[in-house]
Structure formats: structure tokens, C-alpha cells
Structure 1
Amino acid sequence: MSLDLKRAIAQPITSIDALVDTFRAAEKPRSEHRLGLEHEKFIYPKAGGKPVPYEGPSGIGALLEKMGATGSYVPFRETPDSPVIALQRGIETVSLEPGGQFELSGSPFFTAREAHAENLRHLSEAKAAAEPLGLQLVAMGYRPFGTTGDMPWMPKTRYKVMRRTLPERGKLALNMMLMTSTGQASYDWADEEDAVRKTVLVARLAPLMVALYANSPLLEGKPSGYMSFRNRVWEEVDPSRCGYLPAFFDGSFSYRAYVEWALDAPLLFLRRRGEYLHPKLTFRQLLKEGFEGQPAEMGDWTDHLSTMFPEVRLKKVIEVRGADCASAEMTGGLAALWRGLLYDKTALEEGERLLPKLSFTEHKAFHDTARRQGLAGKLRQQELDRLAAEMVAIARRGLERLDPQDAPLVDPLARVAASGRSPAQAVLEAWEKDPRPEALLARFTL
């Protein structure tokens, strides 16, 4: 989650080339490449399946307060008089998604095991704070019960604006904001060629990751027909800012291709005079016309990039976005999986050869199969569980060359792939055995 920190001194954007240069400025020597991990999860009362509001003695605000009482965190407020919406400890941040999903945005580390250890510490602290409040942390990709109308909203100005603007773009936009939970990992690049290869590889392999992590089969208390309904939701959020870029698959992807794509997405908000405004402009129009007599600023571009939601996103890092929220072990494996695939040269080459070259249309069909059927699906005549197992094996070999101590972190992924069963299968079986909210949620606590 973006905390929308105070913006730097306004810097006008002089050209599209200046936007391209923001990605060039993010290049790092390979010796400095790190990774980051984000892990969202749902908070529910132990006694039932109703969502937890921010307010109240057992609310999300109280949970933040209890975690912050240890003294190791600095509370974050938008203004001195507004509620606490995040906790910061150095770069590590505990923050809130719109419906109260609790998120760790971790520190950058050289190894996946460091990121995993930080997440385990965070989960231990969060559970210790949640216990006396009668709350529990639940790992699923989509809320299995309730509708968007049942959900509370967290007290963040950015979300108030997006609550108005995103539904204009897609009918499941509020579902995305309130009902979904994910795990994400972020990686560095050395130069444009490196960024292109890594981004394209993540895009091509993303459906295998979707199948491997599919953990959201229920919708309003019943099977949805998808192993990852969370991923299905993103199809109807905003087609101009979600999904895949055609350039990922036709050999034309570049810094400029990403910039040109983002320029044509409408603004979700524009920060001016300490307010969140909603001019009916694409970023390209803002760049050409300005707003209220003032030019577009670099801070506007930073805000805009944070509202672009492709399956793999470029900001100052490459963000891998396709996994449902899963267990702590699977989340640690996420960090290790992509470290092995992206940071080892041989693994990167093997990953590029794993799948047949698909057109944009063929890839979208592959992606739909993955979210519907999970590991039970097929790409042409190849089973997705076998392809996912080979993807994990390639990553493991990469880790063994890079850093053997990280390699065991992908073992839980290998076991899931070998079973041929996406995590969603266990959710469906638990629901069939006992569909009561309190029983199901207790089964999948972190």
C-alpha cells in the first residue's frame, strides 16, 4: 500500500523521455540486487465470519495500537489529528488495504530467507496483538463470505477517492479493494535489457504462479467456479491499467512501451493543495494540457504508477503480483522462487525456454485456465502441475548456484506442484465438510 508520503518539491515533467528516464534511474549494479516481500492477510473475529471495522475495542485501529504499544514502531497518520493507518519500523511497514486487509511491506534484503524471517516475526507480533482482542489472521485470496456492501472502509483519503473513481472503470473494482488479499515480491534490474527479460519472463510464467498459489475458490459462501476468484476479479477492475501488456508477448516491450501504456490510463486522483482531486484526464492529457494552469509534476507520475495494476508492474522495482494470499511458508517460497528464476543467468534462460511462445490472445486464454482450474489445468497438452513443478525446479537450481541456503524455501512449492492440487482444493474440501464461517476461517489461520 502506498502511504502517500509528503511529496518532494514540485518538479515539472518536461517530456515523455523524462518519464522513461525514471526507470533508467532505478537501474542498480547486479551486486546490489535485492528483493522485497509483501504479505496481506484478512483479520476476522475468532467467534465468526463478519469483517472487522477500523473502530471499536476489537477493531483494526485497536490492533494497530496494540502492535504499536511495543515501542518499536512509529505510527503513521495522514495528518496530526487523523487515525493511525500504518506502523513503520525503518523501511518495514505494517499498513492497511481498503477493507482492513493487514499488510506487511517488508524491507529490501539480499536473500529470501531474510525476507521470510522478517515476515515470520511480523506474523508473530500481529498474532500476539490479535489474541487478546479476539481476532485471528486468515490466509485466503478472497473473502469467502459476504459482499462489498458488508465491508468496512479504512480511514484513508486515497481510498475515499478510489472508492468513487475505480467503479467507473469496472464493476468488480470494489471487490478488488475490499475482498482480495495477496502476496507480492519485488526485484531489481541492472539495465533496460535486464528489466525487459525479467519482466517478460514473469509475465509469461505468471499463470503457472497463479495456479500454484490459487487459494480463493469461494464467493459469498459458495464455490465460484474458479480456483482463484481473486485473480478473476482483476479482469473487471479497469482494462486500461490491469492484466497484461501486449508488448510482453510480441517482442516490443521496453521502458518506453511501459510508459506509453501507462500514459493512456485515466487518472484515479491528482494531489493538489493537500487535496485529492479527480480531473477527467488520462496522464497523457495531463502531460499535454496541465491542470489549472500548472504542468504535470513528477510526483503525479509516481502517484499514477502506483495506480497501475498489471500482473507484473514496473516502478522502482519489478513487482510480481499474481499470487493469492497463502501460508507463511508459501509466501517465503514466493520470494525465493523469483530470486532463483530472475537473479541466476542460467535459470533465467531455462525459464525462458519452459513454455511455448504464445500470442497475447493465447496467453490470456492460458491465464484464464490457470485461475479457473488451478494446477489441474492444461496448456495445450501439458499439465500445469508438471509445468509448475519444472518452474520450481529451475528456480531451485538457480538458488543452489546463487545461495544454497535459500533453496529449501521453495520446497513447499515443490510439494504443492507434485500434489497436483492448488491450495484452493483444501479450502473447498473444508467448506464441504463444514461450511460455517467460524469453522472454515479457523482452518486457514496463519
Structure 2
Amino acid sequence: MTGLWLREDEALAHIAGVCFKTGPPRRTGVELEWLVRDQLDPLAPVPVERLRAALAQLGPTGELPNGGRITLEPGGQVELSSRPATSPVGCLRETAADLADLRAALGLAGLVLEGRGLEPYRSPERVLDLPRYRAMEAYFDAAGHWGRMMMRATASVQVNVDAGEDTGPWTGAAAVNGHGTTGYRFRWTLVHRLGPVLVAAFANSPLWQGIPSGWRSTRQAVWAHMDPGRTRPPEADPDPRAAWARYALDARLLCLRRPEPAPWTAPPDTPLRSWLRDAASERRPTLDDAEYHLTTLFPPVRPRGWLELRMIDAQCGDTWMVPTLLVTALLDDPVAARAAYRATEALTGGAELPPWPVWLDAARHGPSDPVLGAAARACFDAASDALARSGVPEPMRRAVADFARRYPQRGRCPADDQLDALGLGLGPRLPEGASR
């Protein structure tokens, strides 16, 4: 590095290196976001003071006995982040134990967790008044209300897995045909091919303000309508490190940290690359600025040394275990990985990765789309076989099989249950201000 200032070539090299840490894939983590309800009045807003008081019963640090950590999202959603575990089963067991503690603490305060990808009835207020969130709202408000919906009203299941080994230049077909499936290039390709399948199979947000939105996953539709330079996948490239570094530098600054009380509002329409080149800016960017910028990028798969899969709607009850088991089985078992790669071939149009319209079809139709439905069924079948081979406990295997029978095998997803419960069909309405 040159002094405290960061050059463009230094930024590219650093981002490419730090975001794909390679080695044998072993670890699994999850981050579970939940909406919070009053037990007696589920439609009433929950004051943040009441929520903080309930969470304080878990201890002053936010860390739970099995290593999970509790944080709050801008709209009062609660997030439980597991610590990395050396096996998917260990991750699920530790997270389930911490989740039981969280539910118990909230229950004493008359509160319950609800697993939906989007707050279906209210437009929540922002309850966290931090410089980052004020700057984010200012940035996203310029393009409509999508950013506020994302920050205040969405919830997800995020599965975290190791990037994989540096096994050479082989990506999709070459890895499937004999070069192995543990390499980070192949795993990067496979998680993007699985992305629309996961959106479709676990879509769980069909309502907005009490009305069908026209999407099985309105949460994914919200992301689709936001800033595409930070919410869509990077371009396909045999070298994912280079593609991600370019993506990061081309994304516009979302906020610029300054000493209080100065606002963190970023200069308009300024990619990180432009800031690195602009010697006349208010200050020159540093390595810390570049790393902070990475935390403001929200594609469906985000590399942070490991791979964050961010496309899955929050799930009801303990169904969050199913996408975690599905993802890890399809990535870590070589037979299942090859099967999943072939099962998603029809989604790519002959390319390596699915085009963006396939992600939108997944969000709109779920597994009722025949091509997505077929891919989802094949992936669940491959995962079920892999889970049996790996000795995953029978109750966990049964949870995956039950989900498959209830949803993808019938061309359905959890969103359809919500619509059925209201006696509603999936209407044509989008959130106000949207375009098809």
C-alpha cells in the first residue's frame, strides 16, 4: 500500500484476495432473520425499547451459550447469527439450542418470532437511528421505496459455506467431468446455478400490505428493483475473484464514514473506482474504506472469505434447517454436486450461469414454473441421497423429505400456504410504484 491511501490496483488485488479464502470446505454457518410479533396483537408494532428489554435477558453481549449472536435490523427484525461449525449437523444443533433460548426470552415478554420473508401487513418504521442507516435510506430513496422495504420489512435465512479449494482453472463442466467439485470456482458457479432454485423452493413472501403482490417472493422482487450494481450477481467469468473485484469497484458508494455529527451521505453516482481515482475528493480512500464498502454490497451470493447465500426467504418454525441441509448436501457431496449442476442446466440457456430473468421467474412463480420446478425436485432428490450417505440424523433427513413432498413435488412453496390461508389467489398486483 502507498502510505494510508489506496490505489486502484491495490484495491483490486486486496478485494480479490480477501473475499475468496481457499481451503478444504468444512465449515457451515447460518444467519436467521425474524419478524417479531406481540402474542396478543400480532398486527401491533413492537416498540424497540420493549424488544431490547426482552433481549437483555440473554446477557449484555448479545452472545448466546452455543456461540450465536443476536443483533437488530433497522425495522426491528431480530437476527441470530451462528458461529461457524465444522459440520452442518453441528451448526443446526447449536443454532437450534440458541434459538430456543431466544424464543424463551421473547416469550417471557409476550413476544414471538415469525418466519416470513417480508412483513405482510404493515410498513414498519426504522427503529435504529445510526449514521449508516440514515445514509442508506437517503441513497435508496432516490430510486423509490424499495430500499426502505428492504431495510425495514424483509427477513431471510442466510446459509454460509466455505469458498472451497484453489484446485486450478476448472469451473462448471470441466469440474463435473473429472476435476473435482471442491474448488472455489466450481462452488461459486454451482451456488449461482442453485440460486433461482432456492428462491423458488423457499419463496415465503407473497403479501405486501395485506394484498397479494404478484410474486411468491416479494422479498426477492424488492431486491430486484433496487440498485442493480450492488444487488444482482456479478458477470460470469472463469475467474470469480477478478469478476468480484471489478463488481466491487464499479458499485456506487452507499455511504461515506465521517466523524459525528457529520452525515455519512455519499457523493452521488460515485463508484468506488471513481473515488480511488479522484485525488481532489474530500479525502482519499483507505483500505478500511474499501473493506467497509464491501459490507454495502448485497448480491444473492456475497463472498466474504466464505460464501454467503442471501437469496432465501425466512421460513416458518424450524423449517430454516431445510435450506441449510439442502445447500450443504448439494455442495459438499461430490455426487450430489454433479447432479445439481446437471439439474440446473435448463436454467442457464446454454451459458454457465442463469440469466437474471430466471431469478425473476423464480421469485414470481416459485416451483409452479415447470423448468424451475423440475430443477428443484431433482436437487431435493440428490440432496436426500447425499444426506443418507453422510449419516445425517434421521429426523433431519425426514424434515427435508417432508418439505420436498409438501412443496416442490407439488409445484408449491411456502408462499402458497399463506395465500391459501387467506383464501386468495396470486393476484397481479405489485407493490405501489413497481414496474413489470
* TM-score, normalised via structure 2 length: 0.83
Kindly indicate whether the alpha-carbon contact (under 8 Å) linking 2:66 and 2:94 is maintained by their aligned counterparts in 1: no
Q: 2:174 maps to what in 1?
A: none
Q: Which amino acid aligns with 2:47?
A: P
Which of the numbers 269, 276, 279 marks the counterpart of 2:266?
A: 279
5 Å-filtered alignment, 1:344-355, equals: 344-354=333-343, 355=345
SS of residue in 1 equivalent to 2:69: strand
Alpha-carbon spacing, 1:114–1:298, altered in 2? closer, same or farther (3 Å): same
SS of residue in 1 equivalent to 2:325: helix
Q: 2:414 maps to what in 1?
A: 423
1:414 positional shift: 2.3
- Tell me, in whole angstroms, the C-alpha distance in 2 between the residues paired with 1:412 and 1:154: 38
Q: 1:209 maps to what in 2?
A: 198
Kindly indicate whether the alpha-carbon contact (under 8 Å) linking 2:32 and 2:79 is maintained by their aligned counterparts in 1: yes
1:365 and 2:340 matched: no
**Cα deviations across residues 94-123 of structure 1 (Å, max 9, x unaligned)?**
111110110011110121122212222222
Which of the numbers 140, 157, 161 marks the counterpart of 2:135?
A: 161
Alpha-carbon spacing, 1:161–1:136, altered in 2? closer, same or farther (3 Å): same
Alpha-carbon spacing, 1:302–1:413, altered in 2? closer, same or farther (3 Å): farther
How many percent identity over aligned positions?
A: 28
Which of the numbers 388, 411, 415 marks the counterpart of 2:401?
A: 411
- Tell me, in whole angstroms, the C-alpha distance in 2 between the residues paired with 1:172 and 1:360: 30
Q: 2:240 maps to what in 1?
A: 254
1:39 and 2:32 matched: yes
1:151 positional shift: 2.1
1:142 and 2:133 matched: no
5 Å-filtered alignment, 1:302-317, equals: 302-317=291-306
1:294 positional shift: 4.6
Q: 2:103 maps to what in 1?
A: 127
Kindly indicate whether the alpha-carbon contact (under 8 Å) linking 2:192 and 2:354 is maintained by their aligned counterparts in 1: no
- Tell me, in whole angstroms, the C-alpha distance in 2 between the residues paired with 1:428 and 1:12: 54
1:89 positional shift: 6.2
Q: 1:92 maps to what in 2?
A: 68
1:389 positional shift: 1.7
1:12 positional shift: 4.1
SS of residue in 2 equivalent to 1:186: strand
Aligned length: 396
Alpha-carbon spacing, 1:11–1:345, altered in 2? closer, same or farther (3 Å): farther
SS of residue in 1 equivalent to 2:48: coil
Kindly indicate whether the alpha-carbon contact (under 8 Å) linking 1:95 and 1:102 is maintained by their aligned counterparts in 2: yes
1:28 and 2:2 matched: no
Q: 1:398 maps to what in 2?
A: 386
SS of residue in 1 equivalent to 2:57: helix
1:109 and 2:70 matched: no
1:224 positional shift: 1.3
- Tell me, in whole angstroms, the C-alpha distance in 1 between the residues paired with 2:129 and 2:119: 20
**Cα deviations across residues 379-406 of structure 1 (Å, max 9, x unaligned)?**
3xxxx33321211222233344445448
Kindly indicate whether the alpha-carbon contact (under 8 Å) linking 2:117 and 2:204 is maintained by their aligned counterparts in 1: yes
5 Å-filtered alignment, 1:269-348, equals: 269-273=255-259, 277-280=264-267, 281-289=270-278, 294-348=283-337
SS of residue in 1 equivalent to 2:355: helix
| Runs of 5+ unmatched residues, structure 2 | 170-182, 425-436
Q: Which amino acid aligns with 1:372?
A: R
* Deviation larger for 274-283 or 209-218: 274-283
Kindly indicate whether the alpha-carbon contact (under 8 Å) linking 1:41 and 1:101 is maintained by their aligned counterparts in 2: yes
Q: 1:190 maps to what in 2?
A: 165
**Cα deviations across residues 271-309 of structure 1 (Å, max 9, x unaligned)?**
244666333131101222257565322222221111111
RMSD of aligned alpha carbons: 2.6
Alpha-carbon spacing, 1:418–1:291, altered in 2? closer, same or farther (3 Å): farther
Which of the numbers 46, 49, 52 marks the counterpart of 1:52?
A: 46
Identify, as 1 or 2, the structure richer in strand.
Answer: 1
Q: Which amino acid aligns with 1:122?
A: D
Which of the numbers 176, 179, 188 marks the counterpart of 2:150?
A: 176
- Tell me, in whole angstroms, the C-alpha distance in 1 between the residues paired with 2:131 and 2:106: 26
Q: Which amino acid aligns with 2:248?
A: A
Kindly indicate whether the alpha-carbon contact (under 8 Å) linking 1:93 and 1:106 is maintained by their aligned counterparts in 2: yes
Kindly indicate whether the alpha-carbon contact (under 8 Å) linking 2:203 and 2:413 is maintained by their aligned counterparts in 1: yes
* Deviation larger for 183-192 or 405-414: 405-414
Q: 2:125 maps to what in 1?
A: 151
SS of residue in 2 equivalent to 1:158: helix
Q: 1:386 maps to what in 2?
A: 374
